Structure formats: structure tokens, C-alpha cells
């Protein structure tokens, strides 16, 4: 897919036309529907004859295809065009602590191949890296798609990641030139990377509820606690990609020691892990719960507690309320600091929206100023299955300016 790779090159004879071609592709890809020539030409600010010429060349290259005619109120009906869904493919990879998933998307981000939740143990070793690579390679082969049509690989991985340099600090940090350049060389494809929470943010930004918001927070509340910050319509990475370390915000009353070495980290009070701990404590103090009928206390994971809360278990609900209020207080502080128009609660906790929403809101009133609070709405993520995986893949489109 040579046309997508031009942008890096300097000025040459073809460059300007190729830039315009890429603009056409981007316009069509961003548009919800197929577009007619006049609209395309207005969109990229060129005349109809040149636009038509470029479009025909793109059709010749099978990058753009006709999509029939559309109804109009009056006048000749225009032929509309869209990007050929088969013109390019994207690999999305999600590497979590205990499982790895790969999806292959077409250029419209429709999933056309999947190999999800393969059991796996993430370790900072050469061997583990080799496993990841062969799994990705296998998926590409199994998909039976033309290899020269792959545009790139987008990876989401737990831990701290520098999206700019392509380094992963916690895992595979033994590589000299960073993780992306290593994988890129091996697969002979451009590779982009970010951490699991940021990738979730990308998903919300382009496909979820943050689509129309210029300033939003995406909370990733699962076993851990993370935050993706979107400001001025862009994901905020910070200087080294560390932005969003919400779980280590020193805001809690708890004196529990966090793995980071400090006490009072928010993640020790607001997270799936914290929910499990608090559940155990409560049971030890004699409280009862529906969950105890089936399992012993040790085996109860936060997923089960969330489900129990949904089924009406009083203990689980009250624990969730506690968490909601604490999360709300912390978010209120960030609302003062960043004045987001929207907060999206994502991650595994999103299913507990009914129980959490009011407690978060009430927590926020404790800390947030009334003006920024009034202009900030709270929503729960409703993206389809595996939003992180889709966001991981979307990095590729984002870097090509196609989204």
C-alpha cells in the first residue's frame, strides 16, 4: 500500500498529488456515507476536473470504489464513491497480563478475523516476546489476506508505554531500539503501540461516546485503575507517555502500601483489586452476602462481586457505592483541573453503571467546583466487544491520518 507511506518522504515530483490523494482517502474514510465528486472536491479544495482525475487513478489502483448513485431532491443524480474496504487491513493486538488477543480489521474498522483471549502469561522475557510475535504472524497467515495489503499493526499493552518512541517500559524493555521497531522489522510492517488504557481512550474517541467531545476523560476501571485524557480532541500522552496515572493519585484516606511504594494511592481504594480486598474484610467482620453460598471468600474475584451487585446483593452494592464516592471525589479534582465536557466510565466496571452513577456524581460534588461540574456529563461506555482491541488497531489509521 505505497500510497499510505508517502507522507514521510520529502518533496518530489509526485508528492503534492499524493498528498491530495491521501486527503481524498481520509475524507471518504471519515465520512459516514459514500460521497459524490463535487463534495469530495470541495472537501479537499480542488477543482472538479483534477479531483475526478485523481479519483479515477485511485479507482484504477482499487483504493476507491463506486458505491452507486444517491437520491437527491433535484438535478442529476451523482455517483458516490467510498474507500474500498478490501484495499487495506490493520492488525490490532491487545497484550494483557494473562491473555493476548489479535483482530484484523479492514479499513472501515470492521473486524474480519479474530483470535481472542488466548491464554498466555505476560513476562519480561525474550521467550514471551517470541510467543507474541508468532501468535501475530499466525493470525496474519490464518486470515488468508494478501500480505502486501496490510497497513500496519497497532498494539495495546499493559504497563507504562512511550507511544512516541515505541518503547514499553515494563515489558520487553530489554530491546535496544524499542518494542515497535523490533516488531516492525520482524513483521516488515509499521507498528504503533500504547498502553491498554490509552488504547481504550482511542476507542472511545473515534468510535465511542467521546466522538463529538473535544475534552473528555475515559476511566478504565477494571482490576486496576487507569485514565485516558482527551483534550482538544487529542489523546494526551505527556512527555514520555505516562499521562493518566490515575491509580497512583495520592488522594485516598487508606494507608495501604501500594506497589509503587507510596501510601494513599487511589488505586488501593478504587479498583477491582480494592473491591476484592474490601469484600474479604467485610465478610471477616461478619457481614453476609449472596456470593458466600457458592464460593469461599478467597476465590471470589471482582467480576463476581460486580455481578452480585447487579443481582441485588446488599454487601456488594454498598461496597460499590463506597468506591463510587471515592472515585467521584478524585474525578471532581480532575474536573477542576481539566474542565472536561464528558467523563466516560469504561472497563469491566461499566456494567455496574446503574449502581455507580449516583455515587460518583455525589462524590464529585464534594470536590468539583460548581461551574465546571455543571458542564460535565457522566456516561458509561457502550462500545461493542473488545473496545481496547479496536482502539489498538485504530492507532494505525490515526497515524495515517485516515481517522
Q: Can residue 361 be called a binding residue for a second copy (CB under 8 A)?
A: no
CA distance 360 to 379: 11
User: How many CB atoms are located within 10 Å of the residue 282 CB?
Assistant: 17
Q: Which does 336 bind (CB under 5 to 8 A by kind): a second copy, DNA, none?
A: a second copy
Nearer to a second copy, 297 or 336 (CB): 336
Binding mask 79-118 for DNA (x = CB under 7 A): x---------------------------------------
The SS3 call for residue 91 is: strand
Q: Which does 76 bind (CB under 5 to 8 A by kind): DNA, a second copy, none?
A: DNA
CA distance 63 to 83: 6
The SS3 call for residue 159 is: coil
User: CB–CB of 195/157 below 8 Å?
Assistant: yes
Q: Can residue 60 be called a binding residue for DNA (CB under 7 A)?
A: no
User: CB–CB of 144/190 below 8 Å?
Assistant: no
Of 18, 24, 28, 46, the one binding DNA by CB under 7 A: 46
Which residue is associated with the grid cell 490523494? 21
91 CB-contact burial (10 Å; exposed 0-12 / middle 13-18 / buried 19+): buried
DSSP assignment of 288-314 equals: --GGGGTS-GGG--HHHHHHHHHTT-H
Half-sphere exposure of 45 (CA within 13 A, CB side): 1
Of 208, 372, 387, 388, the one binding a second copy by CB under 8 A: 372
Number of residues interacting with a second copy: please give it, by CB under 8 A. Answer: 48
CB of 17 to DNA, least distance (A): 5
Of 14, 117, 146, 234, the one binding a second copy by CB under 8 A: 234
Q: Which does 47 bind (CB under 5 to 8 A by kind): a second copy, DNA, none?
A: DNA
Binding segment toward DNA, per CB under 7 A, in 43-51, 168-176, 204-212, 226-234: 43-51
CA 225, 227, 231: angle at the middle one, nearest 5?
175
What radius of gyration, in Å, describes the C-alpha atoms of the chain? 24
3-state helix, strand, coil in the chain (%, to 5): 45, 20, 35
| Three-class secondary structure assignment of 239-269 | CCCCCCCHHHCECCCCCCECCCCCECEHHHC
Q: Can residue 20 be called a binding residue for a second copy (CB under 8 A)?
A: no
CA distance 377 to 90: 33
Of 5, 9, 33, 48, the one binding DNA by CB under 7 A: 48
Q: Can residue 314 be called a binding residue for a second copy (CB under 8 A)?
A: no
C-alpha closest to that of 104 among 82, 132, 137, 129: 137
- Cell numbers given for 394: 485504530
Of 7, 33, 38, 259, the one binding DNA by CB under 7 A: 38
Of 27, 145, 236, 290, the one binding a second copy by CB under 8 A: 236
Q: Give the sign of the dihedral formed by CA 21, CA 22, CA 28, CA 31.
A: negative
CB of 74 to DNA, least distance (A): 4
CB of 383 to a second copy, least distance (A): 22
Binding segment toward a second copy, per CB under 8 A, in 118-126, 130-138, 211-219, 282-290: 211-219
Of 32, 239, 284, 298, the one binding a second copy by CB under 8 A: 239
Binding segment toward DNA, per CB under 7 A, in 39-47, 203-211, 309-317, 323-331: 39-47
Contacts with a second copy by CB under 8 A lie at 11, 16, 42, 45, 160, 169, 213-215, 227, 229, 231-232, 234, 236-246, 248-251, 260, 262, 329, 332-334, 336-341, 366-367, 369, 371-372, 375-376
Judged by the rule CB under 7 A, the positions of this chain that interact with DNA are 13, 16-17, 20, 36-39, 45-53, 69, 71-79
Amino acid at each position: 500500500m505505497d500510497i499510505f507511506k508517502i507522507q514521510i518522504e520529502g518533496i518530489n515530483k509526485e508528492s503534492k498529488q499524493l498528498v491530495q490523494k491521501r486527503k481524498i482517502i481520509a475524507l471518504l474514510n471519515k465520512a459516514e456515507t459514500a460521497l459524490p465528486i463535487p463534495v469530495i472536491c470541495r472537501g479537499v479544495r480542488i477543482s472538479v476536473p483534477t479531483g475526478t482525475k485523481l479519483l479515477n487513478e485511485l479507482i484504477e489502483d482499487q483504493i476507491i470504489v463506486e458505491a452507486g448513485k444517491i437520491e437527491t431532491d433535484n438535478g442529476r443524480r451523482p455517483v458516490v464513491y467510498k474507500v474500498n474496504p478490501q484495499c487495506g487491513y490493520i492488525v490490532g493486538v491487545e497484550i494483557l497480563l494473562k491473555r493476548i488477543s489479535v483482530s484484523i480489521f479492514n479499513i472501515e474498522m470492521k473486524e474480519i478475523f479474530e483470535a481472542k483471549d488466548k491464554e498466555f502469561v505476560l513476562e519480561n522475557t525474550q521467550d514471551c516476546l517470541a510467543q507474541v510475535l508468532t501468535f501475530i504472524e499466525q493470525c496474519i497467515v490464518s486470515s488468508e489476506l494478501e500480505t502486501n495489503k496490510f497497513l500496519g499493526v497497532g498494539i495495546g499493552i499493559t504497563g507504562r508505554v512511550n507511544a512516541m518512541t515505541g518503547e514499553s517500559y515494563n515489558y520487553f524493555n530489554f530491546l535496544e531500539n524499542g518494542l515497535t521497531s523490533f516488531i516492525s522489522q520482524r513483521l516488515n510492517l509499521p507498528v504503533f503501540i500504547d498502553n491498554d488504557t490509552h488504547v481504550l481512550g482511542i476507542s472511545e474517541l473515534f468510535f465511542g461516546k467521546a466522538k463529538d467531545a473535544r475534552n473528555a476523560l475515559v476511566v478504565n476501571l477494571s482490576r486496576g485503575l487507569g485514565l485516558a485524557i482527551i483534550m482538544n480532541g487529542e489523546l494526551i500522552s505527556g512527555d514520555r507517555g505516562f499521562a493518566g496515572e490515575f491509580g497512583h493519585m495520592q488522594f485516598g484516606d487508606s494507608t495501604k502500601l501500594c506497589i509503587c511504594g507510596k501510601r494513599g494511592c487511589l488505586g488501593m481504594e478504587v479498583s477491582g483489586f480494592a473491591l476484592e480486598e474490601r469484600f474479604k474484610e467485610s465478610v471477616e467482620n461478619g457481614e453476609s452476602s449472596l456470593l458466600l453460598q457458592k464460593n469461599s471468600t478467597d476465590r471470589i474475584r471482582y467480576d463476581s462481586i460486580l455481578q452480585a451487585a447487579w443481582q441485588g446483593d446488599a454487601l456488594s452494592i454498598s461496597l460499590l457505592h463506597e468506591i463510587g464516592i471515592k472515585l467521584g471525589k478524585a474525578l471532581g479534582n480532575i474536573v477542576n483541573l481539566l474542565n472536561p465536557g464528558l467523563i466516560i466510565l469504561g472497563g469491566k466496571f461499566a456494567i455496574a453503571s446503574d449502581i455507580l452513577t449516583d455515587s460518583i456524581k455525589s462524590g464529585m460534588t464534594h470536590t468539583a467546583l460548581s461551574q465546571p461540574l455543571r458542564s460535565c456529563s457522566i456516561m458509561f461506555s457502550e462500545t461493542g466487544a473488545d473496545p481496547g482491541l479496536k482502539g489498538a488497531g485504530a492507532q494505525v489509521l490515526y497515524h495515517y491520518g485516515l481517522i
